[in-house]
Structure 1
């Protein structure tokens, strides 16, 4: 009887060791995926911080080049949106002599997978306008939050979506 109990105990322990082995392998694989997500988030965050001033700033004297540069940092429908901006914003910006300068005050990853990362940016926006018929330039500084959806494309990251508190483009 004692030998039957010993055999049963050994069998239960063996099954426990096998189950524990599977759990350990699963945890190790999950750790690898978490590390990949973390690395993707870190890389996309660096790109988003660098891209934000180019995407959100322009000068009426160089607006065509500014919008073209911004368009090269984007992908998909956002690229088309920047092309449309060239048609609508250029005339107004030149008429009002608008200069908009964006500076990233802070940024963080909200959600990350290996090929798609959502980044929240805190941006200070300074705008100067010289409206025709006035003698003084009007200046305004606002603090804004911007969300970029970054996607991995080729060997780097591009901005696929951009949204602000004022709405999406």
Structure 2
């Protein structure tokens, strides 16, 4: 198919070559819409793209490149500026949205918040680690939160309650020494006074008192002091053989424990009934 000229086009009905500005095909007599107005044909090219041709020195090869340019640039052969102008030929600045400007106060506040979050995370992580590893971790208020440490408090309270309230008339002196070994000096004096009053009756009536802790719960606990509610079953046996008299009772106690550098010691015992 021969190359079309700049002022030619193909009829959409018969495919014959006709003028670009024709309003009727001269071959099939069909009405067609002109590509450009007849009066503007001499001024504006049929193709909206300017064509620049360059030939080799021999003239045998033809290279054609098509680039979009404006009508003014085609006439003046000068590069077209990318800057958009309005009717007054003044440059129109392109508005680019920018991020809100951060003030120094905002940056300082952000830094402080980041530091506080990091410290809080480190504190929670440390408490969790210590609790998981059974250490005596505590909150800023002093409350004991380590699981193993709190379990140790419960076991100590149950054990010391049983030692204090259990004795046998046959081994009374030894039982008292075992109990006194885990008492604070002040509570030891109270214990000695009480046992001095019951010693004679215990030996005379051959009394065996056996206390068994069935459950316990922490009321409050820190690293150095704790209050524990202990539920006890106490069995009292008086006499021996067929004349033995046995009674069982259930008691509730509040055991107060204190600890220095060593084990928990009992410092107070309050019977709830």
Greater C-alpha Rg: 2
**Stretches of 4+ aligned residues off by more than 6 angstroms:** none
Which structure dedicates a bigger proportion of its chain to helix? 1
Residues 32, 82 of structure 1: alpha-carbon distance in 2 compared, 3 angstrom cutoff: same
Structure 1 length normalisation: TM-score?
A: 0.79
Residue 127 (structure 1) aligns with: 236
Does residue 18 of structure 1 match 2:125? no
Q: Aligned to 2:211, what secondary structure does the other structure show?
A: strand
In the alignment, structure 1 segments of 5+ residues that lack a partner are none
Deviations 1:117-150 (A, max 9, x none): 111111111111239xxx7322211111111111
CA distance change for structure 1 residues 20 and 120 in 2, over 3 Å: closer, same or farther?
farther
SS at match of 2:184: coil
Match of 2:171 among 39, 62, 73: 62
Deviation at 1:6, TM superposition (A): 1.6
In structure 2, the residue matched to 1:6 is 101
2:272 aligns with: 165
Shift of 1:158: 0.7
Higher relative contact order (CA 8 A, sep 6+): 1
Matches of 1:24 and 1:91, distance apart in 2? 66
More deviation in 37-46 or 52-61? 37-46
Contact 1:64 1:90 in 2 (8 A): no
- Root-mean-square deviation (CA, aligned residues, Å) is 2.9
Gaps of 5+ in 2: 1-96, 132-136, 138-143
Shift of 1:52: 2.3
Matched residues, number: 161
